[in-house]
Amino acid sequence: MPVKDPLIETLKVCILQLQAEGTVTDSSPHLATCCELLELILRKGLQQPVLSLTHRDYWYCFEQLLQHDTCGRLSAVSLAVQKTTACPKLLTAQGRGRFFIRLMLAKRTLENAVKHVLHTGRVMEVSEITVTQLSDLGLHSFLKIKIFLNALFSSYCYSESSSAPFCLNHNKNSFPLQWYSPETSVLRNEKFVEPFLSLCLVLSEIKFKLNIENCSFLDESWLLPVCETYEAVPCRELGMVLRYLDGRVFVLELLHGGMAQVDMFAEPGDIIDEINGISLRNSSNGQAGVVLSRLKGQPLSLRLLRWRCKDGAMYRPLVPLLRQLKQENPLLQFSSAPQPSPAAQRQSQSQSQCVKEGRILYALQLLGKTNIGMYGGKEVLQHAIPAVLRMRQNSKEVLLDVKETHMTCTDKSNKQQLFQHHFPEISCVGRFGQPDFTIFAFCVVDTPDTGQPKGFCCVVLQATSSTECEELVHRIAAGFKNTEWFV
C-alpha cells in the first residue's frame, strides 16, 4: 500500500470544498485552511542553518529564484516575487511568504512557482564543505576556518574588497545549505512531490478573487480582517481622534459633526491602513497627520480595517490591542456580540430606507418647489416652506441619495432622475418646525432650461419620521461644510 502524506491528503479534501464554492473570495470558509496547509507543506522538512541568527522560511526559496533560476521562464513568478518584496505592509518572512501564496493563487501560477523551486539547483543543492576537503586546496588554516564558517552560515561570504583583511559580508546567495531534508520534506520526496504538484495544478484551475491589498495582518495570521475603502471629498478635517499602537493607526474617537461621524464610515477600534495608497503599517506617532497635511485639498481614499468581522465577532488578532485601548479609555465598548454595521444601523432606524449598490437611499415625499428670488439665506426657509405647502403641488414618492459631493433625487416609480445638486450649489438647509418635524427644505440656485440662473429655488421634502428628517438635514449641512474646498 503506497505511503500517503497526511498534509497532502488533507489539502486534497480542502481543494474539493473550494471547488464546490465556485469563485473563492476572502470570505470563503475554507480559504484560510487551504493556505495554511500549503504553508505547512512548504515548511515541512525545511532545515535551519547551523549557527545562524536568522530563522529560515520557505519565502527565502522563492526570493532567491530571481538570482539562481536562469531558464528564462520566470516572468510571472519574478513579478510576484518583486511585488512581494516591495510591499511595505509586510515586516517578516512569514508575512511575505503568505502574501506570495495568496498572490500565486490569485494569478493561478502556484504550480509554476513550485516547479521553479524544484528545478533550481542552487536553492535545493546540498553544500557540504568541510575543513578536510579544504585541506586539499593548500589554504592557510585560519582561512580554512573562515570559509568553513561562511559555509555554515550560508548567508555570508568572504569579500576581498572589504576594508578588513578577513571579514564576513552579508550575502544570502552564497554557500546554500541543504534547504529541505530528503527524508521528511514533501518537495524532495519523489513519492509526495508529484501528488503535491497535481494539487497545485488543480488550484490553478480554481478562480480566486482575493483582495491582495488586504495583507497587513499576514505577519500574524492567515485570518484577515474586513477591509473596506471609503472615498472622501476634500475637507478641512475628517473628525477622528487617532491612537498609534503597535505600528498601527487606530480610530479612537469620532468627533461630533465631523465627516466620519456624519457618514459613519468608521467606528472606534477600526484601523486606517492606507491613505491614497500610502501605507500606514508600522507608522510612528503623527505619521497619518503628516500624510493628510500633504494631501490637503485633495480627494481622499481611505482603506479601513474593521475590528469587527462580518458576523459581528471581534477580529481575533486584534483582541490584545483592543484590550489595551480599552484599558487606556474605559468608555470604549468592544462587544463581540453580533451587531449590524454602521450602515445597517442607519437602515434599521427607518423602514423607508432602501439599498442600491451598497448605498442607503431615503424614501421621501417631494412636496414641491418654488422660486424665492435672488436671496437664498436660511432666513427665507420659514416663509418659503409654507408658501410651497399652500401651493398644494402634486407630491411624488422619490428616492434621495446623499453622496460625498452631491445628492441625487429620482422618481421611485419610473427611476427617472428629477434633480442632482452638488453641495456648493446649496445655500441653506433646514427643518420645518411644525406640525411633526418631518418636513425639511433646502435652497439651491435656480437654473431653468435656458441655463441662466434666476435667483434661488426652495425644494421641500417630507421624511417618514422626525429622526430621519433631522439626519438628512445634518448630512446635507455636513456635505456643504466638507466640500468647502471646491468653492
Asked if the 351-486 domain carries CATH number 2.30.29.30, the reply is yes
Whole-number pLDDT of residue 13: 94
C-alpha R_g of the chain = 31
Nearest by Cα to 473 from 372, 364, 368, 389? 364
User: What pairing do the DSSP bridges indicate for beta strands 278-279 and 300-305?
Assistant: unpaired
DSSP class of residue 48? P
The fourth-level CATH superfamily of domain 227-330 is PDZ domain (2.30.42.10)
pTM above 0.85, yes or no: no
pLDDT (tens digit per residue) in 102-156: 999 999 999 999 988 887 754 455 433 434 344 444 445 555 455 555 544 443 3
- The answer on pLDDT for 438 being more than 80 is yes
Whole-number pLDDT of residue 214: 96
Mean pLDDT of 175-191: 75
- The answer on pLDDT for 99 being more than 70 is yes
Q: Which of 166-180, 221-235, 332-346 has the highest mean pLDDT?
A: 221-235
Sign of the torsion angle spanned by Cα atoms 312, 316, 318, 319: positive
Please state, in angstroms and rounded to a whole number, the distance separating the CA atoms of residues 101 and 224: 14
Mean pLDDT of 358-374: 85
Whole-number pLDDT of residue 71: 61
Higher pLDDT, 22 or 453: 22
Element (H, E) at 346: helix 342-349
Three-state SS sequence of 279-299:
ECCCCCCCHHHHHHHHCCCCC
The reply to whether domains 6-126+178-209 and 351-486 share a CATH topology is no
Confidence of residue 485 (pLDDT cuts 50, 70, 90): very low
Whole-number pLDDT of residue 336: 58
Whole-number pLDDT of residue 226: 94
Least confident of 36-50, 168-182, 218-232, 461-475: 168-182
Whole-number pLDDT of residue 471: 86
pLDDT (tens digit per residue) in 278-308: 999 999 999 999 999 898 888 889 999 999 9
Mean pLDDT of 266-280: 94
Q: How many CA atoms lie within 13 A of 197 on its CB side?
A: 16
Whole-number pLDDT of residue 274: 96
Please state, in angstroms and rounded to a whole number, the distance separating the CA atoms of residues 261 and 477: 13
Domain boundaries, the chain: 6-126+178-209, 131-170, 227-330, 351-486
**pLDDT, the chain, mean:** 80
Whole-number pLDDT of residue 352: 47
Contact 219, 95 (CB under 8 A): yes
Whole-number pLDDT of residue 268: 92
Sign of the torsion angle spanned by Cα atoms 250, 252, 258, 262: positive
Mean pLDDT of 33-46: 94
- The answer on pLDDT for 482 being more than 70 is no
Angle subtended at Cα 478 by Cα 465 and Cα 406, rounded to the nearest 5 degrees:
90
> Which CATH architecture is the domain 6-126+178-209 placed in?
Up-down Bundle (1.20)
Confidence of residue 434 (pLDDT cuts 50, 70, 90): confident
| 128 SS3 class | coil
Contacts of 273 (CB under 8 A, 6+ apart): 89, 216, 227, 249, 279, 280, 281, 303, 304, 305
Confidence of residue 36 (pLDDT cuts 50, 70, 90): very high
